[in-house]
């Protein structure tokens, strides 16, 4: 059986792309040196797949920053404000990703959003009425030829025209449909050129097909592909979907002239039923996504073979594939030398998943795969679960409805909190973290390597906390934070202090651009062993009369930014983590912390893509898990939360139902679009929409912050508005952070003088 990989991790086994890109941004290397690093990475990615015997290897899945951004540049969807900077091609590209503030120019970056139900973020293309969509880029062709020189025939991968138009934002009178003729011409030209270069297959990624579609969507999709498929020039086109099923218009989709259709059988629960109901065309290749591209557990061969045998009844031409791009898992287990063999044997990262594809594709062709060594070893691995703790399960069983309800009601609590905290109008605060400088990282590394002890490590952390408190007082922030200098990551830090987690050394996954995260792994039942943040928060509060927020990560975010178990439900894992965070919340309150922030940055991340599944499969338990964390605190204790980089408009009532006292949102990159939803739904929670974008290195001017606040006050009651950046500051440098916060405070003073 042939095998395929939808896409491969870009950053390299040890984040080589991240470090090279950051050197380029600092001017330490030039574009040729950056491209040399990228070329070596691509060569390694292709060779790894070839050596594993993968038959369909992707090209153009590599990116310096993001695939949607690459597609925008390929299609000339570059707003004038970036073109007018008169930069070279690469720097224009990076200005769209990061913004540009230099040589008298000040241009903000494109908006950034979550990529469907993952922790990856994509850049949102901007299409204006005068945008001329046409083929101008060359990357897809260059990389195909680059692979060919290495003796590797690849299938070039592109974001499909339907998904591109669905995810782009149109500004002006025109909508996506108005650009369909131009994008059709561009894609036909891409097909023609790739055919001339010798390509035999092209993969068009259309994950938007797994979302809720209406007839207008279907008409657009059909128009795009009837013309593109009518001009294939003899090349084969693979329609690739992932992250769900294509229950809308499945029968019409399979009737179109695609040569292959890729379906996800991990998250696409209905795909097998759709095939049983409507069949699968004999003239098409079924690319069966049966190797999980989003989780790190080894494939259960028995389940995979069972599904393959089932699919063979409906298709005689099957290619074994990953369920989605392997971009969403770490590169390799090779560097995880600290993992115990009893744990490590359960895992498969990207490189190891290539081996799984190879083994399964060979075994399925044997006379009796069940007697083969590889199958027997895998079955033995899954003959028992990694482990459950009956005590933790019983805690969940004992929960009742009162454990999820905080009294008195929020309106009464807010009056009491205003009196107790005595904050000024438009309180200023930050989201939590402060820059993770070389000094901070060196202290952590020295401790991890055993070069210093816990006492010396904490001494430095306390020194950094005091500096952070004094700087915030000097700037004039109203509600302070301790800076989070003891934390490597907002999820990994908590995982390290909870029983049931496993940690890696080099298992980095790209979140956006050069930002990589190292998600912890939930290996068994989760419980709190000891206080986690209490002493650091208590010390910070002792330094000042101003309130200092206790900073915690919420249970849903800890779950969603971890690699979860596959042997118990997400709901059970969420409640286990929530009980642990609840214990920490109550200890912070006992220590005198009056404001506690429980971040749920990733609340929307595991939200089912289809609305019909939102409550039954996710929101019902996700909201309850958050409420469980804070339902036991006193009325005067103020509970904050934070959310970022997702569109929350459709679940804004559910967010209000989390019953927090204050929430801060990412809002600056999404151009404050959330304000309309807050007003329309009579949002009760006090709110701090971010007034500037921290993911761009530019410093916002006072006037633009003032304008943002004034815009907020058109939709938010003045007694409910907080002023803050839109996310934590750990990725920024100290000079730009301090300059930005000084401007934030100055802008707030101007607004206070007006009100």
Q: What is the rounded CA–CA span in Å between residue 5 and residue 291?
A: 10
Instruction: Please work out, in degrees rounded to the nearest 5, the angle formed at the alpha carbon of residue 652 by the alpha carbons of 646 and 655.
Output: 90
Q: Under a CB-based contact definition with an 8 Å cutoff, are residues 695 and 96 in contact?
A: no
Q: What is the rounded CA–CA span in Å between residue 430 and residue 440?
A: 19
3-state SS class at 83: helix
Beta bridge partners of 285: 260
Query: Phi then psi for 433, rounded to 5 degrees?
Result: -85, 150
Give every CB contact of residue 680 below 8 A, 6+ residues apart in sequence.
none
CA distances from 689 to 548, 651, 737 (A): 20, 16, 18
DSSP string across 264-319: ESSS-TTHHHHHHHH---TTSEEEEEEE-SS--BPP-HHHHHHHHHHHHTT-S-EE
C-alpha neighbours within 13 Å on the C-beta side of residue 677: 19
DSSP string across 418-473: HHHH-PPSS-BB--SB----HHHHHHHHHHHTTSS-HHHHHHHHHHHHHHHHHHHH
Q: What is the rounded CA–CA span in Å between residue 673 and residue 708?
A: 12
Cα four-point dihedral sign 740, 741, 746, 751: positive
Q: How many residues does the chain have?
A: 755
Nearest C-alpha neighbor of 203 from the set 217, 187, 215? 187
Residue identified by tokens 């409420």 is: 627
Nearest C-alpha neighbor of 326 from the set 462, 157, 181, 495? 157
Token pair, residue 555, equals: 């249970």
Question: Which letter, b or e, does each residue of 655-679 get, where b requires 16 or more Cβ atoms within 10 Å of its Cβ?
Answer: bbbbbbbbbbbbbbbbebebbebbe
Token pair, residue 248, equals: 């809308």
Of 45, 482, 630, 695, which residue is the catalytic one?
695
Q: Under a CB-based contact definition with an 8 Å cutoff, are residues 633 and 406 in contact?
A: yes
Query: Phi then psi for 728, rounded to 5 degrees?
Result: -65, 160
Question: Which letter, b or e, does each residue of 521-541 get, where b requires 16 or more Cβ atoms within 10 Å of its Cβ?
Answer: bbbbbbbbeebbbbebbbbbb
Q: What is the rounded CA–CA span in Å between residue 636 and residue 421?
A: 9
Q: Under a CB-based contact definition with an 8 Å cutoff, are residues 98 and 696 in contact?
A: yes
Establish whether the linkage from the previous residue to 408 is cis, with ω within 30° of 0.
Answer: yes
The answer to whether 695 is a known catalytic residue is yes
Q: Under a CB-based contact definition with an 8 Å cutoff, are residues 688 and 721 in contact?
A: yes
Give every CB contact of residue 285 below 8 A, 6+ residues apart in sequence.
238, 259, 260, 261, 317, 318, 319
Give a three-class secondary structure readout of 718-750: HHHECEECCCCCCCCCHHHHHHHHHHHHHHHHH
Judged by phi (left if over 0) then psi (alpha if -120 to 50, else beta), residue 165 lies in alpha
Give every CB contact of residue 700 below 8 A, 6+ residues apart in sequence.
691, 692, 693, 740, 743, 744
Residue identified by tokens 């007697």 is: 371
Active-site annotation, residues: 695
């Amino acid at each position: 059986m042939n095998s395929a990989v939808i896409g491969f991790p870009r950053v390299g086994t040890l984040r080589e792309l991240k470090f090279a890109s950051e050197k380029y941004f600092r001017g330490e290397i030039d574009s040729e040196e950056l491209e040399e690093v990228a070329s070596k990475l691509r060569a390694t990615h292709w060779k790894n797949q070839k050596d594993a015997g993968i038959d369909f290897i992707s090209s153009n899945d590599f990116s310096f920053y993001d695939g949607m951004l690459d597609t925008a540049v390929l299609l000339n969807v570059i707003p004038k404000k970036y073109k007018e900077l008169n930069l070279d091609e690469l720097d224009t590209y990076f200005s769209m990703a990061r913004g540009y503030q230099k040589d008298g120019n000040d241009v903000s970056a494109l908006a950034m959003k979550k990529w469907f139900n993952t922790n990856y973020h994509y850049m949102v293309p901007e299409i204006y009425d005068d945008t001329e969509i046409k083929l101008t880029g060359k990357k897809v062709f260059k990389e195909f030829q680059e692979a060919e020189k290495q003796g590797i025939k690849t299938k070039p991968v592109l974001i499909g025209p339907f998904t591109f138009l669905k995810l782009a934002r149109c500004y002006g009178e025109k909508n996506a449909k108005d650009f369909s003729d131009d994008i059709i011409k561009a894609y036909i030209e891409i097909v023609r050129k790739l055919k001339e270069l010798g390509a035999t297959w092209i993969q068009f990624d259309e994950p938007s097909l797994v979302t809720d579609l209406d007839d207008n969507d279907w008409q657009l999709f059909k128009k795009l592909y009837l013309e593109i498929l009518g001009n294939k020039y003899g090349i084969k086109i693979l329609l690739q979907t992932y992250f769900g099923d294509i229950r809308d218009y499945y029968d019409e989709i399979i009737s179109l002239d695609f040569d292959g259709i890729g379906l996800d059988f991990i998250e696409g629960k209905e795909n097998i039923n759709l095939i049983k109901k409507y069949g699968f065309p004999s003239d098409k290749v079924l690319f069966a996504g049966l190797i999980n591209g989003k989780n790190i557990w080894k494939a259960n061969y028995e389940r995979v073979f069972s599904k393959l045998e089932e699919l063979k009844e409906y298709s005689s031409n099957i290619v074994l594939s990953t369920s989605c791009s392997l971009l969403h898992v770490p590169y390799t287990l090779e560097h995880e030398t600290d993992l115990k063999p009893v744990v490590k044997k359960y895992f498969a990262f990207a490189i190891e998943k290539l081996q799984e594809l190879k083994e399964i594709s060979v075994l399925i062709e044997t006379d009796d795969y069940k007697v083969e060594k590889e199958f027997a070893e895998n079955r033995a691995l899954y003959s028992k679960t990694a482990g459950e703790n009956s005590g933790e399960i019983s805690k969940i069983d004992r929960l009742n409805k009162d454990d999820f309800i905080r009294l008195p009601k929020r309106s009464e609590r807010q009056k009491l909190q205003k009196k107790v905290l005595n904050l000024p109008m438009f309180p200023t605060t930050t989201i939590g973290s402060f820059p993770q400088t070389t000094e901070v990282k060196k202290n952590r590394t020295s401790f991890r390597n055993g070069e210093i002890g816990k006492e010396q490590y904490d001494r430095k952390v306390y020194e950094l906390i005091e500096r952070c408190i004094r700087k915030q007082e000097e700037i004039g922030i109203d509600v302070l934070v301790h800076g989070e200098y003891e934390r490597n990551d907002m999820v990994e830090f908590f995982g390290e202090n909870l029983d049931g987690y496993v940690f890696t050394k080099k298992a980095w996954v790209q979140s956006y651009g050069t930002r990589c995260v190292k998600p912890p792994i939930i290996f068994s039942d989760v419980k709190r062993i000891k206080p986690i943040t209490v002493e650091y928060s208590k010390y910070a509060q002792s330094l000042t009369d101003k309130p200092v927020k206790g900073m915690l990560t919420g249970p849903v975010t800890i779950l969603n930014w971890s690699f979860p178990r596959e042997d118990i439900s997400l709901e059970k894992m969420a409640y286990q983590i929530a009980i642990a965070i609840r214990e920490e919340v109550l200890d912070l309150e006992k220590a005198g912390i009056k404001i506690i922030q429980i971040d749920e940055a990733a609340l929307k991340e595991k939200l089912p893509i289809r609305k019909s599944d939102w409550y039954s499969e996710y929101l019902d338990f996700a909201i309850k898990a958050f409420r469980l964390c804070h339902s036991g605190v006193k009325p005067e204790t103020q509970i904050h939360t934070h959310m970022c980089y997702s569109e929350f408009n459709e679940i804004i009532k559910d967010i209000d139902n989390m019953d927090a006292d204050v929430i801060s949102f990412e809002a600056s990159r999404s151009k404050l679009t959330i304000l309309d939803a807050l007003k329309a739904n009579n949002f009760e929670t006090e709110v701090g929409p971010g007034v500037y974008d921290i993911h761009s290195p530019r410093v916002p001017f006072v006037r633009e912050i003032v304008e943002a606040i004034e815009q907020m006050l058109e939709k938010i009651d003045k007694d409910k508005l907080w002023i803050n950046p839109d996310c934590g500051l750990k990725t920024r440098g100290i000079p730009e952070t301090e300059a930005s916060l000084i401007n934030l405070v100055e802008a707030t003073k101007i607004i206070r003088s007006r009100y």
